[in-house]
Structure 1
């Protein structure tokens, strides 16, 4: 493995992706979504996975999160092979260790912001209070509102609160600003940065937006199912300073 693909040091590695490939067979056509991808991710770092649609970044995120399995290769979480886990072990991994944030918020419309977050805290082993999670994303004054009473940015912040309320070690964000306007998107990115800073959660953000890469510790460039380049930002840019 190239040193540029690793994080700050072997002892600090939370997640290791080793020679991971993913192939889909669609009739007579085989689609290679990932091609022997390897990378390490360190505790507490914020990494942007950057690439156009079809580059393999969402497939990689789904495999890391235990939502999909690779055709070949291995995933290790704290040295434990996730790709060898049973379905029961994968369920526990997703429930306790992974927080997911998607482009579309997936909130339950009949529940308030507080109740949407409580759905996660009630099944997690060591959650933070739902009220605390909503305060973390600056929604203390909206916790009793229903999704229809919230803006798109506020709904995404509820989704982030729901993801971090379980105190996950990994926060996986799939195009978290994709459905938002420019100013609202920057507010959501600031919340993600805040979670990364204050909770020390290892955070992976996938995006096609080149400008967002400036807020990361490292940027992993993907194309055609491969990692083509990994760069470390000498200076991280605050989300409020981003422009696109």
Structure 2
């Protein structure tokens, strides 16, 4: 089943995307003609084994990498072929990133890690508001080493949403966490999606996480294997793995 989303605005539209890497004399085909749309306000999960092309696709959508061929549009603006400077401005203004590892600066407090982003954003939240949204309003002045893994990931989410991005791209955000802590992080992502209307896309190899999504997109061998709507989304606390 493919859910009808024709009434919703398209945030990202990618057509015939390919990505080929050269490893010595060997060509690695990471993406093989991918067509995909992401819609305004949805929570989508991309599932697939390691090497299926999930991260490559996200990096291209988010402007961190470029496709070998094919087109990517963001709100009908063609991203393919634009300059590095334009890509930087696109990422800065429109996309928040959350990765498996938190990438916080160890010598800076939670507040200061977020201020790095808010100081260059056009219409940011304050670091205090961003941390309050992820349930860490009482950890403003803690260094990363004084925070648990789950708390560090929530600081990373706060940093990603502080610039009020239209899209949040999350690559294995619970991959380094135990299940209980991972569920807390997923609750924060769900809350951001619902309260701010941020289109949220999560890469994972964990099938269970797909149960909380509006749509589940499966990749295999660099291609879209299936797209399914999810009529009965589960709350993160109902997930078990």
- TM surpasses 0.5: yes
Counterparts in 2 of 1:74-89, with a 5 A limit?
A: 74-89=71-86
Q: Do the aligned partners of 1:7 and 1:41 also contact (CA within 8 Å) in 2?
A: no
Distance 1:162 1:9 in 2: 32
Deviation of 1:7 (Å): 6.1
Residue 27, structure 1, aligned to residue 28, structure 2: no
Normalising by structure 2, we get a TM-score of 0.98
Q: Do the aligned partners of 1:35 and 1:226 also contact (CA within 8 Å) in 2?
A: yes
Distance 1:64 1:33 in 2: 14
User: Secondary structure of the equivalent of 1:61?
Assistant: helix
1:53 to 43, 50, 70: 50
Distance 1:221 1:199 in 2: 26
Residue 150, structure 1, aligned to residue 147, structure 2: yes
Deviation of 1:26 (Å): 1.0
2:116 to 116, 119, 130: 119
Distance 2:94 2:224 in 1: 25
Normalising by structure 1, we get a TM-score of 0.97
Q: Do the aligned partners of 2:30 and 2:222 also contact (CA within 8 Å) in 1?
A: yes
Unmatched segments (≥5 aa) in structure 2: none
Deviation of 1:237 (Å): 0.4
1:175 to 159, 172, 176: 172
User: Which protein is richer in helix relative to its size?
Assistant: 1
Structure 1 outlier segments of 4+, above 2 Å: none
Q: Do the aligned partners of 1:7 and 1:13 also contact (CA within 8 Å) in 2?
A: no
2:88 to 88, 91, 116: 91
